[in-house]
């Protein structure tokens, strides 16, 4: 009854924020995984994993906080999309969405061997995510296993929560399960990102030490 624009455009904005944030984090992480000299003085090889993770997360979230204000603020006004949710409730929902998406993107960046793979991954996944999110195609017509697997991606509960809260005018208590799911994803992906960073630092330190030990006798000879 609200029309195509009022119901479809808002979740598309959420998907754009999610996919571009994943792409940005993936490009940065994948670029740092590309072959480099072991003795390079890169900051990500010297910084403690926890500090690096916190600062990187804060930077991405700060940038995308302003982009979120643009999409959910100016763009809503430009397309005359009604806001049924309270601003404080939207902020409460945006925080775990950006946090979980950032940490998810950092995890992907830590396992991608090249930076361009992040863009390819985002392009391939965008259309499937649109359909399994349930706002264009009913989830009842999608295999249950695909719907279940899609729940690991932060944009799925985020889109459903934003639609329920802002487009349907529900109370915040109606999205508590989705809100908690985003916080759970933040905890899981944050722990995984820290573990991947720690493992990467240990492996590179060991490889650098092995290279120095191997090269020392040659230099003496």
DSSP string, 78-124: HTT----S-HHHHHHHHHHHHHHHHHHHHHHHHH-SSTHHHHHHHHH
CA distance 111 to 196: 8
Give yes or no for a contact between 156 and 163, defined as CB atoms under 8 angstroms apart: no
Predicted confidence at residue 209, as pLDDT, reads 66
Distance CA 108, CA 102 (A): 10
d(Cα 10, Cα 15) in Å, to the nearest integer? 9
Q: Which pLDDT score is estimated for 111? A: 93
Residue 34 gets which letter from DSSP?
Answer: S
pLDDT of res. 38? 57
pLDDT of residue 78: 86
pLDDT on residue 139: 82
Comparing C-alpha atoms, which of 114, 162, 168 is closest to residue 15?
A: 162
Cβ atoms within 10 A of the Cβ of 123, count? 11
Half-sphere exposure of 49 (CA within 13 A, CB side): 18
Question: How does the average pLDDT of the chain come out, rounded?
Answer: 86
**In the prediction, which pLDDT does 76 show?**
85
Residues of the chain with pLDDT under 70: 1-3, 36-40, 207-221
Residue 14 is predicted with a pLDDT of 94
82's CB contacts (< 8 A; 6+ apart) are 2, 6
**pLDDT score, position 212:** 61
Residue 137: HSE in the Cβ half-sphere, 13 Å Cα cutoff: 10
Q: Cα(157)–Cα(129) distance, rounded to whole angstroms?
A: 11
Q: What is the pLDDT of residue 91?
A: 92
Give the angle 22-117-137 at the CA atoms, nearest 5°: 55
Q: What distance in Å separates the CA atoms of residue 163 and residue 201, rounded to the nearest whole number?
A: 41
CA-based angle 69:74:78, to the nearest 5?
Answer: 150
- The pTM (predicted TM-score) of the whole model is 0.88
Q: Tell how far CA 49 is from the center of its chain.
A: 18
């Amino acid at each position: 009854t609200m029309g195509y624009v009022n119901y479809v455009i808002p979740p598309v904005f959420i998907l754009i924020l999610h996919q571009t944030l994943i792409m940005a984090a993936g490009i940065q992480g994948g670029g740092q995984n590309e072959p480099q000299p072991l003795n390079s003085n890169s900051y990500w090889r010297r910084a403690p994993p926890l500090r690096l993770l916190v600062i990187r997360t804060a930077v991405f979230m700060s940038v995308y906080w302003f982009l979120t204000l643009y999409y959910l603020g100016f763009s809503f006004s430009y397309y005359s999309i009604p806001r049924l949710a309270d601003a404080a409730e939207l902020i409460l929902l945006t925080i775990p969405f950006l946090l979980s998406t950032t940490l998810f993107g950092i995890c992907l960046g830590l396992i991608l061997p090249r930076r361009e793979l992040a863009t390819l991954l985002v392009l391939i996944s965008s259309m499937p995510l649109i359909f399994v999110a349930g706002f264009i195609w009913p989830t009842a017509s999608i295999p249950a296993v695909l719907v279940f697997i899609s729940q690991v991606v932060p944009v799925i509960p985020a889109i459903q929560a934003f639609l329920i809260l802002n487009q349907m005018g529900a109370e915040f208590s109606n999205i508590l399960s989705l809100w908690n799911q985003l916080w759970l994803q933040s905890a899981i992906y944050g722990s995984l990102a820290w573990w991947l960073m720690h493992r990467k630092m240990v492996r590179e330190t060991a490889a650098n030490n092995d290279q120095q030990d191997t090269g020392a006798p040659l230099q003496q000879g």
